[in-house]
């Protein structure tokens, strides 16, 4: 069993890429909701994943969506910061890069970020921390959660097994 602070292991990633581990479980109309989105607020997770995030963001842009990015202001565990986003030149294909202390909470932060949140029709929230911060707190917006289920409370809420990867849409 894993613990909540444990990051994805290299071998797990390698096994997924080689088709040895199961693919993420999709819960809800992930594809349809994403295809309809025109304004996306993307909440990052681990710094080590931000290069892969750029691939998804590029795809969202190719689908016609405007994407705004949220990273951590200061180092916060192993989460992505502005420096990580700039290393992958994400400033070249997102509208704005916003920073937050801790986790993004609607109604907190700059007035510009609050306005972007208000206008967004899809939030993409990566990681267990973003799931815990937002689950049940945002009404009237579609939220796409991408996370590894690491503990029993999250397993119960999502209906997924501990250790599984899920992509879940809530509307």
Domain boundaries, the chain: 27-170
Task: Check if the beta carbon of residue 60 is closer than 8 Å to that of residue 40.
Answer: yes
CA 68 from chain center: how many Å?
A: 12
Q: What is the pLDDT of residues 36-78, one digit of tens each?
A: 999 999 999 998 899 889 999 999 999 999 999 999 998 778 8
Band (pLDDT 50/70/90 cuts) for residue 128 is very high
Task: Report how far residue 86's alpha carbon sits from residue 19's, in angstroms, rounded to the nearest whole number.
Answer: 31
Residue 79: is it exposed, middle or buried by C-beta count within 10 angstroms (0-12/13-18/19+)?
buried
Residues 78-90 have a mean pLDDT of 94
Assign domain 27-170 to its CATH architecture.
3-Layer(aba) Sandwich (3.40)
Is residue 94 classed as helix, strand or coil in its secondary structure?
A: coil
Instruction: Please name which of 1, 42, 48 lies closest in space to residue 146, comparing C-alpha atoms.
Output: 42
Band (pLDDT 50/70/90 cuts) for residue 7 is low
Phi, psi for residue 115 in degrees, rounded to 5 = -70, -40
């Amino acid at each position: 069993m894993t613990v909540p602070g444990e990051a994805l292991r290299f071998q797990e990633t390698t096994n997924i890429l080689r088709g040895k581990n199961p693919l993420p479980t999709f819960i809800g109309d992930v594809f349809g909701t994403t295809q309809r989105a025109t304004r996306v607020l993307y909440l990052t997770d681990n710094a080590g994943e931000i290069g892969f995030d750029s691939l998804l963001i590029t795809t969202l842009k190719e689908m016609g969506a405007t994407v705004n990015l949220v990273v951590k202001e200061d180092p916060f565990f192993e989460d992505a910061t502005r420096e990580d986003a700039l290393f992958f030149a994400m400033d070249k294909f997102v509208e704005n890069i916003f920073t937050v202390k801790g986790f993004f909470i609607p109604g907190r932060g700059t007035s510009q970020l609050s306005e972007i949140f208000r206008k967004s029709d899809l939030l993409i929230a990566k990681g267990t921390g973003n799931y815990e911060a937002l689950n049940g707190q945002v009404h009237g917006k579609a939220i796409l959660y991408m996370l590894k289920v690491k503990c029993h409370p999250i397993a119960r809420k999502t209906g997924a097994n501990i250790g599984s990867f899920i992509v879940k849409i809530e509307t």
